[in-house]
Amino acid sequence: MECTSSVYLPTFHMGSSIFLWLFLIFSVIFSPVSAKHSVTWTYGVNYGRIANNLPQPESVVTLLKAAKINHIRIYDADHGVLQAFKGSGIEIIIGLPNEYLKEISIGEDRAMNWVQENVQAFLPDTRIRGIAVGNEILGGTTIELWEVLLPAAKNVYSALYRLGLQHTVEVSSPHSEAVFANSFPPSACIFRPDVAPFMKPLLEFFSQIGSPFYINAYPFLAYKNDPQHIDINYALFKDNRGIYDAKTKLHYDNMFEAQVDAAYAALDKAGFNKMQVIVSETGWASHGDPDEAGANVKNARTYNRNLRKLLGKKKGTPFRPKMVIKAYVFALFNENLKPGPTSERNFGLFKPDGSIAYDVGFTGLVPSAAPPSILVSFKEIAGQGWLRWSYLLVSTAWAVVLL
């Protein structure tokens, strides 16, 4: 619920501009406006933690605030993380890990216990705004999980509904590009024949409850797998000839938007042309094995900087120009314990000490240059009570006016 406060302001001829300035400061600091009703967001980050050298979650909150990142995804429901984000205002999508799907799919009571312990217990102070049920299940190699994904998602939603949280917490499930039979050109994209029987009922359920389609879109992986036929500039948002989709008569100058529109095309063919696509993961590795083409710091910086610029425009894709693109970058930190090729451990935007891994426009943890006598910390305000500080600000404003 959005809360607002109104204060009657008498009009003055002397010092009115100063009074108004002070009042605006007062309003910004103390008006509890919900982030759910704020300006449309477009940029989020995945906070993975498969590492042994990462900062404590409390420090991560400080880092995210310094970088002005207000939307994150995590891959579990770690209570230490959720507690650390209490009162931060940062919106979080938590994960129901793949290993829990079978158990949650069995009955609503198990889903209810999980939701009560990992969601309801932290609301509203920790802004949990979504539950990702599994990760990259359909199209993966564990076929038995394909069958339990929908029942698990339904049971999680049912638990939220019974708790009155269905409008606060979204239920979704992110997919990899492996769910598609082909994605070039974008208009030709369809779901794999073996995936479609599982995907369509899942989409029907998500359509009923108003959930978007989440896709993990990585131009890096596409380029790495076929560097001879993919223009690196096309993958990095740099100047290039692009591609032309003859069916839609649309031109694409970057692979990221082409991948998003490919997902829209597949949804259209499946009968879900009103469903929004959100990119749950995208990024570029800053280091890789000798056979991992394009994995270096220069390309990682270029991709992530240009992606941030694109998302900052808050525009749609060529195929869906009115549907603003939203994406979560992978990842916040390098994760030194992740298995697989070297690239898997080198997607981070930041180093564990909070400094930037490379420059994409963030500052990291930079101390404020303002004198402490001028700035009033939020911690101090909270400790001494907002009424006292509001009285001080209003009193100061009246003093200025009377002068």
Catalytic residues: 136, 281
Q: Using alpha carbons only, what angle is made at residue 36 by residues 30 and 40, rounded to the nearest 5 degrees?
A: 110
Backbone angles phi and psi of 136, in degrees to 5:
55, 50
**Encoding tokens for residue 58?**
């409390």
Cα–Cα distances in angstroms (integers) from residue 62 to residues 67, 69, 79, 85, 88, in the given order: 9, 10, 18, 10, 9
Omega before residue 185 within 30° of 0, cis: yes
Dihedral in degrees, nearest 10, Cα atoms 357, 362, 364, 370:
150
Task: Please answer whether residues 301 and 238 qualify as being in contact, where contact means their C-beta atoms are separated by less than 8 angstroms.
Answer: no
Bridge partners, residue 279, by sequence: 215, 327
Task: Please answer whether residues 59 and 39 qualify as being in contact, where contact means their C-beta atoms are separated by less than 8 angstroms.
Answer: no
CA Rg, the chain, in Å? 23
Contacts 24+ apart (CB under 8 A), 221-225: 221/177, 222/177, 222/255, 222/259, 223/255, 223/293, 223/294, 224/288, 224/292, 224/293, 224/294, 224/295, 224/343
**Within 13 Å, how many C-alpha atoms sit on residue 402's CB side?**
6
Dihedral in degrees, nearest 10, Cα atoms 87, 333, 168, 202:
-170
- DSSP labels, 145-212: HHHHHHHHHHHHHHHHHHTT-TTTSEEE--B-GGGEEE-SSGGG-EE-TTTHHHHHHHHHHHHHHT--
170-172 and 243-245 as β-strands: parallel, antiparallel, unpaired?
unpaired
User: How buried is residue 141: exposed, middle or buried, by Cβ count under 10 Å (0-12/13-18/19+)?
Assistant: exposed
71-73 and 91-96 as β-strands: parallel, antiparallel, unpaired?
parallel
